[in-house]
Amino acid sequence: MGKKDLSNEQIRRAELENAFYTEDEYGYLKFDPEKATRHILSRHEIIHTPKQGYFLFSGKYWKPVEDNLIGKYIDQEMDIIAKPYHTDQILKHITRKRHIDYLEINKNRNRIVLANGTLDISDWKNPIFHKDTYFREDFSTIYFDYEYDQNAECPNFNKYLKSTFESNPENIYTIREIFGYCLTTSTKHEKIFLLYGEGGSGKSVLIDTLKTLVTDSNYASIPMSQLDKSFSRAGLKDKILNFSTEECSRLVKDSAITWLKAISSGDPIEAQFKNKDTFNFKPYCKQVFAMNDLPQIENFDDALQRRFVIIPFNKKFRGDEIDLELKEGKLHSEMSGILNFALFGLKRLAEQKDFTYSQESKNMLEEYRLESNSAERFAHFYLRVEDSDSYLKVNDVYEKYIGYCDENNEKNIKNSEFKKIIKRKFEMPIDRKMKKISCKTEEVYEGIGYSDDKKILSLVK
């Protein structure tokens, strides 16, 4: 019987058997997992890492895919001869043959894959665009689904910013720098950004624009209060942005704040995907939180103050001032121009080596620290600078601080932490100062006194 006499199904079966089977020594067809794997990999570029599973090359970037989806691809290729145990064998071979270390994923973090090529931002001041060129060996999962156009502009976005920050246009420079910083995988500035203002102030438009800039697959939405959970932290792997709207009525625990600091600095953190082993990685996502009220934090220390950047949204948009087309229409069509806006901010950040801080932002941060820390508040209201001969006994001051916390139903901190705050606030040396008082040697604070003797007496138990 000639080939022309075979049915379409028989021809198809013969083609598949040629791709997936070999003859054994007796001339019988036998499934060959090695041959089958080579055939699959010739049609689908797949890699595997034990920590994160499978990735499929799209022609531009590497896209993470679920294990069962790779199995479906195999079944589709095998078509009418597909069998579950053959699929399992091929998966095992792919896992072994295309294994790479998870640290190889996004190994060149200075390249951004765009719809029309690859943008290299190794030099923040002078990015280089490789038109229609993609680097599969980078194992990049970061893809922006719009085009790079160095001449593109964003008039609607600029109009929105001018309207939102009309009372303090200096904040627009900060927004530029934040957008630029979010393009990178650098964490050298160690910043956490708080977009602060009541509802209807334009925060959601800015956040939606930033999310669209980095594209859906490149950001996570993990609340600040959930960062002490390993499964939550796993969601930050290979993301360049973490955004959340905080539930500010809840206290953010010290454990979550500890992880927040580590993430902002790019320190190695431990995490775990569901049904996977724990692993360590260095996060590079930028932390941006939008809120109507600033979060409650127990221990607002120097390290946190250095990291926080508050962007105040003071304007309230009402009625005809609200442009409902901004989020889903006008700004989405301006992404190439908004990318240029961000690149300008990145260049500015490189040149001045720090972010722009408006005076309003600085004042708000200082007020926030004062409101968040009982020791700071106590020192602000009850202590003052005096001449160098003045002194207060360390234990007496701490006793009055405890009384202040009890009277105001506030949580106190340990004396060791309290001393650090007092010495920092009044610029005292960190070494202990001892003085002989009534034949007894006591540790003292030098150069300060109580601001209101009558008021301070009420705190003595």
Neighbours of 255 (CB within 10 A): 12
For residues 212 and 335, what is the distance between their CA atoms, to the nearest angstrom?
8
Rg (CA), the chain: 30
Q: Residue 194 has which token pair? A: 């708080």
Kind of pairing between the strands at 192-196 and 286-291: parallel
Q: Which ranges of the chain have pLDDT less than 70?
A: 1-5, 246-250, 320-329, 453-461
For residues 200 and 195, what is the distance between their CA atoms, to the nearest angstrom?
13
Q: Residue 360 has which token pair? A: 């309003």
- Structure confidence by residue, pLDDT tens digits, 264-316: 999 999 999 887 788 899 999 999 999 998 888 877 888 898 999 999 999 88
Phi, psi of 425 (to 5 degrees): -65, -40
8-state DSSP, 293: S
Residue 194 β-bridge partners: 289, 310
8-state DSSP, 138: G
- Structure confidence by residue, pLDDT tens digits, 343-362: 999 999 999 999 999 999 99
Q: Residue 34 has which token pair? A: 């090695």
Give residue 253's pLDDT. Answer: 87
Q: Residue 327 has which token pair? A: 């989020």
Q: Residue 280 has which token pair? A: 């360590």
Residue 90 contacts by C-beta under 8 Å, 6 or more apart in sequence?
A: 33, 36, 37, 40, 74
Kind of pairing between the strands at 192-196 and 29-31: unpaired
Query: What percentage of residues in the chain have a pLDDT greater than 70?
Result: 93
Is-contact 364 174, C-beta < 8 A? no
- Structure confidence by residue, pLDDT tens digits, 147-158: 999 999 999 999
Q: Residue 271 has which token pair? A: 């995490």
Complete domains list, the chain, with CATH: 3-104 (no CATH), 143-365 (3.40.50.300), 373-457 (1.10.10.10)
Is-contact 180 214, C-beta < 8 A? no
Greatest alpha-carbon pair distance for the chain in Å reads: 118
For residues 367 and 203, what is the distance between their CA atoms, to the nearest angstrom?
21
Q: Which of 96, 81, 262 is nearest to 187 (CA)?
A: 262
